[in-house]
Amino acid sequence: MIALHLDDLKQYSDVLRGKNGSEIKVRFVEPRDREELQNYIRSLSAGSRYNRFLGALSELPKMELERFIHVGEADRFTVVATMLVDGFETIVGEARYAFHADTSSVEFGLSIDDRWQGHGIGKALLKNLECRAASFGAERIFGDTLRSNATMIGLARKSGYAFTASPGDWKLVRFAKDIHVEPQDIPCASWRLAATSRSATMSSLAV
């Protein structure tokens, strides 16, 4: 696994592009985002919140919000996708992912603001998560969603994920994808650098 320098989160930011060429910034969440992230969750439609959190809620419970805000605890990370809207940086999507060293896999969940769905943000964010998973040295990335969540299932299918039943819950379906990317081929610059650094460290230890 890579050693992240969490005192400088900005170096792990990426700039992506939506369908119309709009600029989307993906960065780790910061403590200053606490209120805006909560407002983002509140602004999602009831259906989108239900799909994202696999149950009914109107906002993140206080303890869960704190878990989202603190990057790196228990190998769990939260990123936000932001765009400039009327001159202000605005959260238009979020994702939370966890690295499971025992299975060399990354598990994730994501959401996109209802008003911005269909603009290619989900596809770009999912591709970015694959970059991040590859940089950890993960061999597989996966997520679980409700069988009724046609939007997420469609996105995963178009992105080359395979589907199986989710262990232990018949209401869920699991989508997974194997990662076959060498560090130097990771298509996100900041994470290619991190992975290359990890690879060089491992090589020096093997000598």
- Per-residue model confidence as pLDDT tens digits over 50-66: 999 999 999 999 999 99
For 31-44, write each residue's pLDDT tens digit: 999 999 999 999 99
Q: Whole-angstrom Cα distance, residue 49 to residue 184?
A: 37
Per-residue HEC secondary structure of the chain comes to CCCCCCCCHHHHCEEEECCCCCEEEEEECCHHHHHHHHHHHHHCCHHHHHHHHCCCCCCCCHHHHHHHHCCCHHHEEEEEEEEEECCEEEEEEEEEEEEECCCCEEEEEEEECHHHCCCCHHHHHHHHHHHHHHHCCCCEEEEEEECCCHHHHHHHHHCCCEEEECCCCCCEEEEEEECCCCHHHCCCHHHHHHHHHHHHHHHHHHC
Does position 2 have pLDDT exceeding 80, yes or no?
A: no
Q: What is the mean pLDDT of residues 175-201?
A: 76
206: confidence class by pLDDT, cuts 50, 70, 90: very low
For 157-173, write each residue's pLDDT tens digit: 999 999 999 998 999 99
199: confidence class by pLDDT, cuts 50, 70, 90: low
